[in-house]
Amino acid sequence: MKKSDLVDLVAQRQSLPRPQVEATIDCLLDALAEGLAKGERVDFRGFGAFAVRESAARSGRNPRTGETIQIAARRTPTFKVGKELRDRVNGERPAAQ
Amino acid sequence: MTKADIVETVYEKVGGFSKKEAAEIVETVFDTVKETLEKGEKIKISGFGNFVVRDKNARAGRNPQTGQEITISARRVLTFKPSQVLKNALNS
């Protein structure tokens, strides 16, 4: 499923114009990415949490040439799936609320 | 940052609906994503990342506290692979 399919489904379900739903999903993704860029953790209960992992600079080696290179410090987005979604994906019924 | 903050941002920036409606749309987005993944279908959001459901075989594991060997059952897990665009956004 692509983003445009998701937009279609949500527009249909909520009986809303497609452009409005698309703008909403884009805004949601932008807000999420901005939060992560600020180093914040973004938590969606029942779905999962996005966070940023910082890795320090380290020296690596080009496996082809054997040359030693410096790998810069970087930040990587990570996602940890929430319990409800983890169970549902695994074919378990969601826990009673 | 939580879903409530995202709803607030959507309400302010997109406009054209009440805060309650904004919350409903965001909720429907997550419900739809969850239902799709539950069916085992992957979701690809360009510029953000891919959510993929993967099948894991059973494997032998060990309780690190007791040292006891156990079998970890076969299961389906959800993985997220961030897009290059998102990775770059965090390192600019």
Q: Strands (DSSP E) along chain B, which ranges?
A: 43-45, 49-56, 59-62, 69-72, 75-82
What is the reported pLDDT for A95?
Answer: 55
What average pLDDT does chain A have? 92
Residues of B in Cβ contact (< 8 Å) with A84: 34
Across the range A60-64, mean pLDDT stands at: 91
Segment holding A81, helix H or strand E: strand A74-81
Q: Is A7 helix (H, G, I), strand (E, B) or coil?
A: helix
pLDDT at A97 over 50: no
- Chain A CB within 8 Å of residue B60 CB: no
Residues of B in Cβ contact (< 8 Å) with A1: 36, 41-44
How does residue A94 score in pLDDT terms, banded at 50, 70 and 90? low
Tens digit of each residue's pLDDT (9 = 90 or more) over B32-83: 999 999 999 999 999 999 999 999 999 999 999 998 999 999 999 999 999 9
- Chain A CB within 8 Å of residue B76 CB: yes
Identify the CA nearest to B3 among candidates A60, A47, A85.
A47
> Is the ipTM reported for this complex over the cut 0.90?
no
Nearest to B33 among A6, A37, A75 (CB): A6
pLDDT at B15 over 90: no
Residues of A in Cβ contact (< 8 Å) with B22: 24
What is the reported pLDDT for A96?
Answer: 52
Query: Residue B30 and residue A20: Cβ atoms within 8 Å?
Result: no
How does residue B16 score in pLDDT terms, banded at 50, 70 and 90? confident
